[in-house]
Amino acid sequence: MKIVIVGGGKLGQEICYDLNQEGYEITLIDTDSELVNKLVEELDIQGIVGSGTDIEVLKQAGIAACDAFIAATDSDEVNLISAHMASKLGALYRIIRARKLEYTKNEEYISEYFEIDYIINQDLEAAIEILHVIDYPTASYVESFHNNEVKIINFRVKPDSEIVGLSVQEVRSAVKNVVICTIENRNTAEVIIPKGHTIVEADTYLNVIASNEDYNRLVLLAGHKNNTRFNSAFIQGGSRICEYLLPELHKRKIRTKIVELNSERALKLASSFPDSEIILGDGTDQDFLSEHRLSAHDVAIGLTDSDEENLIFSLYSHSLGVRKNITKVNRTSLIKLLHADNLDAIISPRTSISDAIIGRVRSLSHQNEYHLLGYARLSTSKDSEVLEFVVSKDDKVCNKKIMELPLDESIFIGLIIRGEIKIIPKGSDCLLENDCVIIVDVKKRVRTLDGILK
């Protein structure tokens, strides 16, 4: 499968690395010759120095034979124009990154007019992720599947909690309708699919599928005594994410206070969001944060353009006893240098976009005969992923009992959705045509539903 990517910035590089690992044939276009040469050498991809809006450059990249075109430059306008040109030159599927609010508001019209198949907005995606972990106060992150009807929720097992030392089977005896998909040790970066006899250890992170009621029971046993909704949020950095985040927080009756260092940006936020308290100042100044009562807020959210500033802000808010901190970090390798247990929720917009693009590209393979509906990575180490497939009558697994399937050891069937019914799988359950199936894999990189077999 041939993919052309325009833009080798930080997002473009993330996409190149991830899609290269997927085994696709990649051509990168960027105006920076040094950057192109670096990525060509590191990844063994094709590289062209030039502009994505130059017809001759696009032709040189083989755009007529391109299965997927991805425009990920820092300019929304360049992305729109280059994708439109790619469509006219024969690219089969066009994806662009667009960050401006006006483009998101008019996505349907822009998609039709510019012939773009998928518009992704990293700021909107980040806001959605933040809202997920606000709606689930004890969660580190939440991934949604099956039109948001199924959620995989990640949370930390606190030391001295009731489930520490119990087996997975014993935990499921206490909370019956819960599926423990993976257990992650962030200190060792190890992710496992647990067996019934696997012991739950302190400071590990569980990825579970559960109803809200069962999830609340489980996290109480895991040491999270306060699972009540948030009433106030202190945000450092009035980034574009706020344009999508603030209206939703206000719908949830959450009071918001935003600290922004740039006066022009602060004035714009104050004009757009009169219900928020906008403060012009330096959010890295601890005296300033104390003066504005950071410690009196339920949740602290670091949204500056600096990963380091966001991490320090979150660690400081934790030291003050703020119930939850949410940290925007694109370079997740930084987390390993810090005490990760004091970081409640990490939001990585680049990873989210890359996941969305991987899901789209995989679903394009062979005209989506593999019936992939959803995709996300579950761990900070990127070793585990969760996928949603539709069972086809041609799949080898169709009409077979799970106990009869020679499943790979790195595969776990988390949930079967049959119409309106959600089934926690047992060995005697069958996979039927048109079932939706949630699959978890660790290091296997499943491409098809039949790929779960040995």
30/78 same-domain check: yes
* 115 and 15 inside one domain: yes
Q: How far apart are CA 433 and CA 207, in angstroms?
A: 27
Residue 53 lies in a domain: yes
Q: Do 70 and 168 share a domain, yes or no?
A: no
Q: Domain holding 217: CATH number?
A: 3.30.70.1450
Tell me, yes or no, whether 217 and 236 share the same domain. Answer: no
Residue 319's domain comprises 232-347
Residue 380 pLDDT: 65
- Same domain, yes or no, for 241 and 342? yes
Per-residue pLDDT of 46-75, as tens digits, reads: 999 999 999 999 999 999 999 999 999 999
Is 37 part of any domain? yes
What are residue 142's DSSP bridge partners?
153
pTM for this one? 0.91
pLDDT of residue 297: 98
Crossing angle (nearest 10°) for helices 10-21 and 349-364? 40
Domain endpoint, select from 120, 150, 170: 120
Chunked in runs of 10, what are the mean pLDDT values of the chain (454 residues)?
A: 95 92 93 96 95 97 95 96 97 94 89 93 94 96 93 94 97 94 88 95 95 95 94 96 96 98 96 96 94 97 95 95 94 68 88 88 66 84 86 94 93 95 95 96 87 90
Q: What is the pLDDT of residue 340?
A: 66
Residue 130 lies in a domain: no
Q: What are phi and psi of 61, to 5 degrees?
A: -75, -5
Q: Which pLDDT belongs to residue 335? A: 66
Residue 352 inside a domain? The answer is no
The predicted-structure confidence for 157-209, as pLDDT tens digits, reads as follows: 999 899 999 999 999 999 989 999 999 998 888 899 999 999 999 999 999 99
On whether both 442 and 342 belong to a single domain, the answer is no
Give the domain-ending residue among 120, 152, 170: 120
Same domain, 78 and 168: no
Structure tokens at 215: 């999830």
Last residue of a domain, one of 88, 120, 152: 120
In a domain, 16, yes or no: yes
Same domain as 98, residue 8: yes
What's the CATH code of the domain at 12?
3.40.50.720
Q: Is residue 360 part of a domain?
A: no
Tens digit of each residue's pLDDT (9 = 90 or more) over 373-406: 999 988 666 778 999 999 999 999 999 999 999 9
Specify the pLDDT at position 327: 95
Q: Between β-strands 277-280 and 232-236, what pairing exists: parallel, antiparallel or unpaired?
A: unpaired
The answer to whether position 311 is within a domain reads: yes
- Of 331, 333, 326, whose CA–CA distance to 347 is shortest? 326
Task: Give me 8's structure tokens.
Answer: 């080798």
319 shares its domain with 396: no
pLDDT value for 338: 64
Residue 421, pLDDT score: 95
Answer yes or no: do 424 and 393 share one domain.
yes
As a whole number, the mean pLDDT across the chain is 92
Phi and psi at 166, nearest 5°, equal -85, 155
**How much is the pLDDT for 367?**
54
How confident is the model at residue 350, as a pLDDT?
86
Backbone angles phi, psi at 395, to 5 degrees: -70, 140
Please check whether residues 341 and 419 belong to one and the same domain: no
198 lies in some domain: yes
Q: Are residues 196 and 263 located together in one domain of the fold?
A: no
Q: What's the number of domains the chain is made of?
A: 4
- For residues 23-43, one letter each, b for 16 or more C-beta atoms within 10 angstroms of the residue's C-beta and e for the rest, the string is ebbbbbbbbeeebbeebbeeb
Quick one: CA torsion of 251, 253, 257, 262, rounded to 10 degrees? 10
pLDDT of residue 446: 85
